[in-house]
Every structure is written in C-alpha cells, then in structure tokens.
Amino acid sequence: MVTGLYAAILGLWLVLLSFRVIALRGNPLFSFLAFGKDGEETLDRAIRAHGNLIEYAPIKLFLLFFLEQQGASVAMLHALGGSFLLGRVMHGFCFAFMKRSMPLRIGGMVLTLTSVLAASLLLLV
C-alpha cells in the first residue's frame, strides 16, 4: 500500500520533529538535537514545524488513501506522496533546524499545497 509507506515516513519525520521540540525544552536525553538554540524563537519555530506537519499530513494521507482505493496508478500516488513528503521535509527542516531559508520555506509550501490541490482535484474527476 502506497499510502501506508507515506504514513510511515511522515510518522518518522513527526517523531524527529517532536524530539527536536523536546530537546529545545531542555530534556537532556535529546540534548544532541538542541543545537542552534537561540532563545525562545528557536523553540517557537520548532513547535511551528511540528504543528504544521500535524495540520497538513492527515488530509494528505486521506486523499492518497482515497485515490489508492479508486485505483490511481502507483506512479501517480508516488508522485503525489513524494512531492508532499519533500515539501514537508523542506518546510519542517527550515523551521525546526534553521534560522531562515526562504527557498526551503516557499518551496516546501508550494510542493505541499500543489500536491494537496492535485490530489483533491483528481478525486473530483
């Protein structure tokens, strides 16, 4: 199942983003992920990266699942899932691990929204 593959990979990415937030909150177990801490802004950005993934991933996984159930090609599912995953990693990395990167931020959102829009439109036709 293609949807299951993307759910698993996104789940792993969510865990890494969660560990980053935990580390920035001062947990010594995850201190190796607390690099680059520069006050509350770093923590706020990591929390936003984590939250943003949680906001977008469920709807995308539902869309992929429904497309898969309707018999969409494996290539189409991987194109939609892969572009979404790349977009979420780009955006999440920008927010959770960097101070700023407009190419990652904008590129990540373009890939995310284009993938969601394409999957939504495919379900309507």
State residue 19's pLDDT score: 95
Q: What are phi and psi of 70, to 5 degrees?
A: -85, 0
DSSP annotation of 39 reads S
Q: Which amino acid is at 45?
A: R
State residue 107's pLDDT score: 97
State residue 2's pLDDT score: 97
DSSP annotation of 36 reads T
Cα angle value 76/14/42 (rounded, 5°) = 125
Backbone conformation region of residue 73, classed left if phi is above 0, alpha if psi is from -120 to 50, else beta: beta
State residue 50's pLDDT score: 97
Residues of the chain with pLDDT under 50: none
Q: What's the burial of 105, exposed, middle or buried (CB within 10 Å: 0-12/13-18/19+)?
A: middle
Q: Which amino acid is at 60?
A: K
State residue 100's pLDDT score: 86
Q: Which of 28, 26, 48 is nearest to 96 (CA)?
A: 48
Tokens of 47: 């929390």
State residue 45's pLDDT score: 94
State residue 10's pLDDT score: 98
59 near 116, Cβ under 8 Å? yes
Q: Which of 37, 21, 40 is nearest to 29 (CA)?
A: 21
